[in-house]
Structure 1
Amino acid sequence: MVLDAERWLELRRFRALRDAGLSISEIARETGLHRRTVRKYLNAELGQTPQRAARPRRPLAVDAFAHVIDAWLRAELLLKGTVIHERLVEQYGFAGNYQRVKLYLQEARPRIAAELGIAPDQLAGLHRRFEVVPGAQAQVDWGDEGGILAHVGVAKVYSFHMVLSYSRDPFCCFTTSQDLAAFWGCHRRAFAHFGGVPGSIVYDRTKTVVRRHVAPGLAVPLHPEAVGFAGHYDFDIDVLAAYRPTGKGRVERQVTIVRDHVLAGRGFASIEQMDAAFLAWVPDRRSRTHRTHGEVIGVRAARDHAALRPIPNRPYVVTDRHLRHVGKDCLVAYAGNLYSVPARRVRHRQLVEIRASAATITIHATTPAAGEDTLLASHPRAVGRGARVVDETHWDGLPDGHTRAVTTGDTLPQPRLRDRPGGSPLQALLTRAAAAQVTVAARPLSVYDQIAGTSPFTPARTNHLKDVSK
């Protein structure tokens, strides 16, 4: 250990105390230094600063694989130590433990970074670890599970995660949407799963919580529905600073754990099957000892659940509201799906309001008629995209095409019952099918000449007229 110049001069200033007969401990108390330090430097010659001899480093089991680890780090500098240890065991038969690999990486990463020309501050990524008391905090995050249900027509599936920070007790459910109604609907399910409400919940700057983004250091404006939901369930909203995912590392890690232990290598046919698979895995997760706090998750979760706040008797249902136009087919588009409205109460291009919850879609008129309710239609929310949710009664009064008919012309169309002979004479004359069956008498043209008093038409007269014209 090398003392700086100020402490070295301070030690010389109190050297007279040693000459006066004071003990090493008394000088240490006077100077504020350790007595071993005082003894070492007082015994050294003035003008020289003693140096600690470097201890030779003991060879470690990981040294034989140093060239392999260095090659991996040159390809991926931030490769995790757990991954390196797993690969060494599987591919090279490494018999050492993970801590040996971790100690080697502490020395190897800065050295490889210097070789690659990477600044040390790019490797910092340090953060302060914190612990909380039971029931004080939970963390929330989304996971994108992609097309895991694409084979049944569901294009996209998302996983909602909430983790109690004290015990790491997890909750997860799966949805097909990340909108406002689905987000807060998953919160209600999480509260029911835990049996209470945590004191605060940590979020990213997601649009379902934050109304808009602001510059660093400024107060973040919250979404009105987020404020109302948090006030109803009596918890605080804790929004992380931008680009600080380590602030909710507990739930970030939980997303990967659920994906590896619940979803990997399995096939599902519905969202309900995915939710059931997670609930079946929860007892196994709670029976394990967490490597950070060193306790069984289920034992620690019991204390966490007991400290949660009670759930209100009346739920707070969040609806996502949007304005849409009515189409010519009396359908309204929302989130890639079509929903019907009554034809007798709307018109083409009329503006209506859609209120979307996690389970239902209600359509309301923005300017209702006198004495009428604003509600136009209510439908169950469609899963996925491209669906048409139609109530057939909404199309009452619209042409349905039942009067259209075609024929090849080979046969006459059969008359309808009301047009057959036996009906009224006027109806028979006005109806084409009945008039076609009336018998018409055939008379020679000479009969009409006699009635009119004209001479019959002859070819000779025609030739005479032709000559006159010439």
Structure 2
Amino acid sequence: MVIRDEAEAEILRLHQVEKWPVGTIAAHLQVHHSVVTRVIASGGAPPARPQRSARIDAYVPFIVDWLRRYPGLLSSRLYQMCRERGYRGSADHFRHMVARHRPPRRVEAFLRTTALPGEHGQVDWAHFGKIKIGRAERPLLAFVCVLSYSRRIFLRFFLGQRIENFLRGHVAAFAAFGGVPRVLLYDNLKSAVLDRRGDAILFNPRLVHFSMHYHFEIRPAAVARGNEKGRVERAIGYARTSFWPARQWGDLDDLNAQAAAWCAGEASERPWPDDKRKTVATAFAEEQSRLLALPENSYETEEVVSAKVGKTPHVRFEGNDYSVPHTLVRQVVEVRATLERVRILSAGKVEAEHARSFDRGLVIEDPLHTAELKKSKGEARKHRALDRLAQSAPSAQPIFTLLAQAGANLGRSTQHFLELLDAFGAVELELAMREALADGRVLASDVRKLLEARRRAAGGSPQALVDLPDDARVRDLVVRPRDLGCYDQLLRSDEEVRDAGAN
């Protein structure tokens, strides 16, 4: 059998270097053992000293084949695969055999990156657990920005990684640095990169618009290249070990004040990695003048969402209900929020403003909105009462005109006239009102005297006024009279029984 030169070379290597026996080589290369023997003999190399066969010898070709296809396959998994195929050797010996045949890993070498002053910065989020605010549990995240040349760190904490918080972190970092680096490097986080397919990158449009305002370049780090953003990764690790442990703080403002003091103090006084004779603060002083100048106006970082006012005059935002004027019920409004305030706008006009809460399930109301709602309810009730009086007694309209001219309390007068309407009926009230208008006496007390006088003249008893609730089910209730003749029949029956007993 004739074989290729590559196969002969592999036979010689396995026999002389790996010390494989002839049968193992033949099984692995799928050739006859006589061919292996001939190649070894023709190679001029001294025959290898025969070795004692081992249990694992039959599994070596299987192991080599799987390691060739999957170099990272764990030896524990390979051991289970061989156990399923009948291998009964020890796990330790198997692990040593796998290590001997595993192909060497290719180690990638990285270039040491250098940065010019003011040229680069690196940005990332870091998670620091969760915090409780009232009934809400909010994620605590740190926005970290590092200037690549001086290693000056900016650290600020936020409750969540919304894009607005991401931009707020940038604005605060630029203000702390007194300028803007020309290039900012980002990991593939959603705040910066929405989608990526190889070299095709879809950046977050809010970040793109933001970069246009500050004139810096957005540059994403390559996938699986942590070395490209090593400065910000080391800064996050430094903050976790130097700033965060055993840190006591009252609220988020207190925590950020401490973080700013740490950045300007301890973090800036550490040795500069490129020259241990300098500090980070010294290198930053050299770099600061090379940064891009800040624009005259800061970027607007409000959160803007649309919301619909429900049946009650409130708008829900991040789990809390904020009051609005009752005239906005069932309308769509715009909510604009900073970290401190929440504004509700309709047609570009600010209709309500509240202090922002990061709790959940709260109803945050402006007393003015509540007062206006109650007032509108009272006005509505008064109008309904006047309409009822006008429909029942047309003379009520001129009477109320005279009362208004006299400066009387119209609300109380309305209530008194409604009581008279319920007590005496619409016909009697209208007649009394006409008589009152003719006499020029239009107070409710005057009309009541006329009503009682007419009732006495008709032989009736004085009317006891009953305060009925403003409910149609009560006011419009009709009681049908019943024939009581059956009771008279019962009385006559009882008298007949008594008379019969007496006889």
TM category (shorter chain) comes to 0.5 to 0.7
Distance 2:219 2:239 in 1: 24
Name the % identity: 29
Query: Structure 1 residues 113, 141: CA separation in 2 closer, same or farther (over 3 Å shift)?
Result: farther
Q: What's the counterpart of residue 309 of structure 2?
A: 326
Q: What's the counterpart of residue 134 of structure 1?
A: 117
Q: 1:115 Cα shift?
A: 3.5
Q: Per-residue CA shift, 1:66-108, capped at 9, x if unaligned? A: xxxxxxxxxxxxxxxxxxxxxxxxxxxxxxxxxxxxxxxxxxx
Q: Contact conserved, 1:138 with 1:162, CA < 8 A, in 2? A: yes
Residue 202 (structure 2) aligned to one of 198, 208, 221: 221
Residue 290 (structure 1) aligned to one of 254, 261, 272: 272
Residue 243 (structure 2) aligned to one of 243, 262, 270: 262
Residue 157 (structure 1) aligned to one of 140, 143, 156: 140
TM superposition score normalised by structure 2: 0.53
Structure 1 position 431 matched with structure 2 position 492 = no
Distance 2:101 2:318 in 1: 48
Query: Structure 1 residues 179, 200: CA separation in 2 closer, same or farther (over 3 Å shift)?
Result: same
Q: Per-residue CA shift, 1:190-210, capped at 9, x if unaligned? A: 111111111111112333333
Q: 1:351 Cα shift?
A: 3.2
Q: Per-residue CA shift, 1:177-197, capped at 9, x if unaligned? A: 321222111211111111111
Q: 1:277 Cα shift?
A: 1.9
Structure 1 position 248 matched with structure 2 position 283 = no
Q: 1:313 Cα shift?
A: 1.9
Q: Contact conserved, 1:141 with 1:251, CA < 8 A, in 2? A: yes
Structure 1 position 357 matched with structure 2 position 357 = no
Query: Structure 1 residues 195, 184: CA separation in 2 closer, same or farther (over 3 Å shift)?
Result: same
Q: Contact conserved, 2:133 with 2:359, CA < 8 A, in 1? A: no
Q: Contact conserved, 1:181 with 1:356, CA < 8 A, in 2? A: no
Q: Per-residue CA shift, 1:14-54, capped at 9, x if unaligned? A: xxxxxxxxxxxxxxxxxxxxxxxxxxxxxxxxxxxxxxxxx
Q: Contact conserved, 2:310 with 2:329, CA < 8 A, in 1? A: no
TM superposition score normalised by structure 1: 0.57
Q: Contact conserved, 1:181 with 1:320, CA < 8 A, in 2? A: yes
Distance 1:246 1:327 in 2: 52
Q: Contact conserved, 1:149 with 1:157, CA < 8 A, in 2? A: no
Q: What's the counterpart of residue 194 of structure 1?
A: 177
Residue 230 of structure 2 aligns with an amino acid whose one-letter code is: G
Q: Contact conserved, 2:119 with 2:183, CA < 8 A, in 1? A: yes
RMSD: 4.1
* Structure of larger gyration radius: 2
Q: Per-residue CA shift, 1:413-465, capped at 9, x if unaligned? A: xxx998899973379755338xxxxxxxxxxxxxxxxxxxxx9997479649x
Q: Contact conserved, 1:149 with 1:269, CA < 8 A, in 2? A: no
Q: Any residues of structure 2 matched to 1:292-441 within 5 Å, and which?
A: 292-294=274-276, 295-347=278-330, 350-365=331-346, 368=347, 373-398=348-373, 424=445, 425=448, 429-432=464-467
Q: Contact conserved, 2:134 with 2:360, CA < 8 A, in 1? A: no
Distance 1:196 1:302 in 2: 12
Query: Structure 1 residues 361, 204: CA separation in 2 closer, same or farther (over 3 Å shift)?
Result: farther
Distance 1:325 1:243 in 2: 44
Q: What's the counterpart of residue 16 of structure 1?
A: none
Residue 166 (structure 1) aligned to one of 149, 171, 178: 149
Q: 1:163 Cα shift?
A: 0.5
Q: Contact conserved, 1:181 with 1:357, CA < 8 A, in 2? A: no
Residue 360 of structure 1 aligns with an amino acid whose one-letter code is: R
Q: 1:334 Cα shift?
A: 2.4
Distance 1:183 1:268 in 2: 23
Q: Per-residue CA shift, 1:207-249, capped at 9, x if unaligned? A: 3333x3131121x222332222211112111122334333211
Query: Structure 1 residues 118, 132: CA separation in 2 closer, same or farther (over 3 Å shift)?
Result: farther
Distance 1:194 1:251 in 2: 16
Residue 256 of structure 1 aligns with an amino acid whose one-letter code is: G
Q: What's the counterpart of residue 3 of structure 2?
A: none
Distance 2:180 2:302 in 1: 21
Q: 1:118 Cα shift?
A: 7.4
Distance 2:207 2:362 in 1: 29
Query: Structure 1 residues 374, 261: CA separation in 2 closer, same or farther (over 3 Å shift)?
Result: same
Query: Structure 1 residues 262, 231: CA separation in 2 closer, same or farther (over 3 Å shift)?
Result: same
Q: Contact conserved, 1:332 with 1:339, CA < 8 A, in 2? A: yes
Higher strand proportion (structure 1 or 2): 2
Distance 1:119 1:337 in 2: 60
Query: Structure 1 residues 146, 319: CA separation in 2 closer, same or farther (over 3 Å shift)?
Result: same
Query: Structure 1 residues 149, 136: CA separation in 2 closer, same or farther (over 3 Å shift)?
Result: farther
| Number of residues of Structure 1 aligned to a counterpart in Structure 2 | 311
Distance 1:113 1:140 in 2: 46
Residue 130 of structure 1 aligns with an amino acid whose one-letter code is: T
Distance 2:329 2:493 in 1: 75
More displaced stretch, 224-233 vs 420-429: 420-429
Residue 141 of structure 1 aligns with an amino acid whose one-letter code is: D
Distance 1:179 1:322 in 2: 13
Distance 2:102 2:184 in 1: 37
Q: Per-residue CA shift, 1:139-186, capped at 9, x if unaligned? A: 111111113566996633211111100010111111113212221112
Q: What's the counterpart of residue 60 of structure 1?
A: none
More displaced stretch, 199-208 vs 299-308: 199-208
Q: What's the counterpart of residue 411 of structure 1?
A: none
